[in-house]
Structure 1
Amino acid sequence: MITSVKRKIQPLQKDLKNKESAFRDWLDSILFAVFAATLIRWLFFEAFVIPSSSMESTLLVGEYLFVSKLHYGTRTPITPLQVPLTHQTIWGTQIPSYLDWVSLPEFRLPGFSDVKRGDVVVFNIPSENEGVYQKYSNVLPNLKPHPIDLRTNYIKRCVAQAGDNLEVKGGQVYVNGIASTNPEGMQNDYFVSSAALINELNVFRKNGIREYSPYTETFNDTLAANDESGYIVKTTAGTAEKLKAYDFIKRVQLSVLPKGMKETYLYPNSELFDWNKDNYGPVTVPKEGMTISLIPRNIALFGEIIQFFEGNQNVVIKNGELIKAGQKITNYTFKQDYYFMMGDNRHNSADSRYWGFVPKNHIVGKAVFVWMSIDPDPINFLEKIRWNRLFSVIN
């Protein structure tokens, strides 16, 4: 009887070992997959989705793209205590996915190039710095402070790099006194004056215009005559020309704010400047090693950078002066490069015109190509996937 029981126990033990071995193999595979995905995401490239229209029509809402970390050099982790493959919160919840108990110094591995004018760049938005996030809550609601590498990812086009002199005149960007080449997909506001009611689906949507609204004088009270009605549409210059061919459209006019009309909440939000989104600057983008004198204009433009983004301690702005460790400073030399970013949808983009320069240590990577494009609001179901945009290179 004892021998018989032993013979029955031995196969049972073998089955348990086999099940335990299978579970361990499965667990090892999962852990390896997570490790490999985390390594690739950190070192080589990362997938992103476009949630807003600030880069239309270069990048459309609902497009999925790959961003290269290698182009500008991969950053070493700053916040190591983080759930793998998450950003700020655990998937599908509002539970923070990281602990800021440990903060490591930031280094950047060698890359293929530096950020250049015209590059479409993903970066961590600097306005989530704990010292400034409340200041920008009117422009960007629901801001919360996060460590550098876990600040919200934004995507914009670099229009000026470190050391450049930038000015926007009448909606046109000038860098170092030369008019920049406008992106092919760049959009602006246009006033469309119509002699009859416009069928929005057949006219606007068929021409790829997704953002339009009835004209009111709050947009720009210099656009329309007293008896004119129409729409404000966000579109490219090429599409604006196409609209002129409709016999019921009286005219199409670019909407540009006049110079001297001060726009609320524009960076640096100082009484020293009367800038707006169409007439901005001139301003010099800070460059590592560049020294400035701390006159009132420069304190307004660069004081926030010096106080919060240069790694300085005990720096405050008081009575229009920069005080460090209790002593007034009259000159300052920048410790890193900065960039000026703008969305290609120039009249619908919260960018550097509203929250300032992007520090180099906030740069994530270069947008390379779109691998999937899903229209969240298609005209019909067959157009849900934008087939012509799949695997398109981002320029």
Structure 2
Amino acid sequence: MKNQSKVENISGMHSSGITNLIKILFWTLLLAIILKSFFVEAYRIPSSSMEKTLLAGDFIFVNKAAYSISTPRYIPILGTKINSFDIVTFSKPSRGDVIVFEFPENMEGNKIRTANYVKRVIGLPGDTVEIINNFVYVNGRTFLEDDRHLSEKKKEVTTDNKIFSNKNYWNGKDYGPVIIPWKGLSVEVNFKNINKIGPLINREYEKNVVSIEGSVINIDRKPVRTYTFKQDHYFVMGDNRKISMDSRHWGFIPENLIIGKAEIIYWSMDPDLSVIKSIRFGRLFKTIN
């Protein structure tokens, strides 16, 4: 009887140990989901579009609470998209911030977003951005790469109060001028600008709502002649401008697509070298400016 009692006690201890382990795993997983959903997320840099600020093979932490704390846009683990809203707002992105955002073109055709990009904020809502022979001008002042601020020298800005200029030919070296939309800005919608404004409207609704029926332009099945933007927008570029695909190619970033601010490089490996030689020790725990 005494031996039987010992066996029963050991069995009870074993069951209790498994229960405690399950509890630890559950709370650890829950904490990880909360941190990833609301506060911080890790990303790997796959390309050189942000050199020399970020190199291919850098692993970074993104502060998702840098600007606001929002409800998740996707159900954790499942990845199913859900409606999201800001719980509390702290600040807005500043010119020169390095941000991570959802690639805006992934929603075209109602596709699920799978790609996140990292770029530098060049233009803020209401700014006028123009690129002339690779020189970036914001509100007529040169955007200085090294100091991340605007020069004192100013050029004349002429946009006729339109978001897009009448220039038909833009490329990576010459672009604009464009006015970056802000929340509450009302613009005319017509057949001259619908090809440029249409994608911006679709991004705000996060689905295709712009349609054309004969001589009528519809937004969400309603005929319109004007549109009022519901969000602030931002103009972003890669530091390595010659190879970067950015706002010059696919337009402005609405605020709802911004995930957070890139803060620190926690690990870095050169993808072209062997594992032992690839570790860039000088980049570990480097802040991102």
TM-score by length of 1: 0.63
The letter of the residue matching 1:283 is V
**Which position in structure 2 is the counterpart of 1:291?**
186
Pick closer, same or farther for the CA change 1:60–1:284 going to 2, 3 Å: same
Alignment partners' CA distance in 1, 2:98 and 2:209 = 35
- Aligned AA (1:34): L
- 2:279 aligned with 1:375, yes or no? no
Q: Residues 68, 111 of structure 1: CA spacing in aligned structure 2 closer, same or farther, 3 A cutoff?
A: farther
Tell me whether 1:176 sits opposite 2:139 in the alignment: yes
Paired letter, 1:28: K
Say which of 209, 223, 227 aligns to 1:332.
227
Q: Matches of 1:184 and 1:382 in 2, distance apart?
A: 35
Tell me what 2:31 maps to. Answer: 36
Residue in structure 1 matched with residue 281 of structure 2 by the alignment? 387
Secondary structure of the structure 1 residue equivalent to 2:136: strand
Looking at structure 1, the residues matched to 236 and 220 of structure 2 have their Cα atoms a distance apart, in angstroms, of: 32
CA distance in 2, matches of 1:331, 1:71: 34
The DSSP-based 3-state class of the residue aligned with 2:87 is coil
| Map 1:150-161 → 2, pairs under 5 A | 151-161=114-124
* 1:330 aligned partner, one-letter code: R
Task: State the 1:98 CA deviation.
Answer: 3.0
2:62 corresponds to 1:67 = yes
Q: Give distance in 2, aligned partners of 1:112 and 1:390.
A: 28
C-alpha distance after superposition, 1:335-379 (max 9, x if no partner): 11111111111111121222222111111100111122211224x
Which one of 245, 249, 252 corresponds to residue 357 of structure 1? 252
Which whole-Å CA distance do the structure 2 matches of 1:279 and 1:367 have between them?
A: 28
Matched letter for residue 335 of structure 1: K
Deviations 1:3-25, CA, capped at 9 Å, x for gaps? xxx44432222222111111111
8 Å CA contact 1:48–1:67 kept in 2: the answer is yes
Structure 2 CA distance for partners of 1:321 and 1:341, relative to 1, 3 Å: farther
Structure 1 position 59, deviation (Å): 0.2
Alignment of 1:89-238 (within 5 A): 97-100=78-81, 103=82, 105-131=83-109, 145-146=111-112, 151-183=114-146
Q: Do residues 277 (structure 1) and 172 (structure 2) align?
A: yes
**Is it true that 1:57 corresponds to 2:20 in the alignment?**
no
Q: Distance in 2 between matches of 1:351 and 1:313?
A: 21
- 5+ residue gaps, structure 1, are 1-5, 84-96, 133-144, 186-267
Cα separation, partners in 2 of 1:45 and 1:123, compared to 1, 3 Å: same
Query: Following the alignment from structure 2 to structure 1, what is the Cα–Cα distance between the partners of residues 187 and 197?
Result: 9
Q: Which moved more, 1:70-79 or 1:364-373?
A: 70-79
8 Å Cα contact 2:97-2:261 kept in structure 1: yes
Residues 275 and 313 of structure 1: is their aligned pair in 2 closer, same or farther, counting only changes over 3 Å? Answer: closer
2:22 matches 1:27: yes
User: Does the aligned pair in 2 maintain the 1:71–1:111 contact within 8 Å?
Assistant: no
Return the alpha-carbon distance in structure 2 between the equivalents of residues 382 and 327 of structure 1: 61
- After TM superposition, give the deviation of residue 313 of structure 1 in Å: 8.2
- Alignment RMSD: 2.6
Which residue identity is paired with 1:114? Answer: K
Pair 1:76-2:71 in alignment: yes
272 and 340 in structure 1: CA distance in 2 versus 1, 3 angstrom threshold: same
* Structure with greater proportional strand content: 2
Matched, 1:346 2:241: yes
Aligned CA distance change for structure 1 residues 290 and 173 (closer, same or farther; 3 Å): same
SS at match of 2:88: coil
| 8 Å Cα contact 2:57/2:271 also seen in 1 | yes
Structure 1 residue 107 displacement after superposition: 1.1
Q: 1:18 aligns with which of 13, 24, 28?
A: 13
Q: After superposition, give the CA deviation of every residue in 1:283-323 in whole Å (9 maximum; x if it has no partner).
A: 11111000111244432221122234236885413567522
Distance 1:179 1:300 in 2: 29
Q: Does the residue aligned with 1:61 lie in a helix, a strand or coil?
A: coil
Q: Distance in 2 between matches of 1:344 and 1:274?
A: 23
Aligned counterparts of 1:347 and 1:318: Cα–Cα separation in 2: 40
For residues 252-281 of structure 1, what are the alpha-carbon distances to aligned partners after superposition, in whole Å with 9 as ceiling and x for unaligned? xxxxxxxxxxxxxxxx9xx97211111111
% identity of equivalent residues: 36
Instruction: Assess, with a 3 A threshold, how the Cα gap between structure 1 residues 317 and 171 changes in structure 2: closer, same or farther.
Output: farther
Deviation of residue 151 (structure 1)?
3.7
Q: Cα 1:313–1:56, aligned 2, differ >3 Å: closer, same or farther?
A: closer
- 1:337/1:68 CA distance change after superposition, 3 Å: same
Secondary structure of 1:116's counterpart equals coil
Which secondary structure state, in structure 1, belongs to the residue aligned with residue 231 of structure 2?
coil
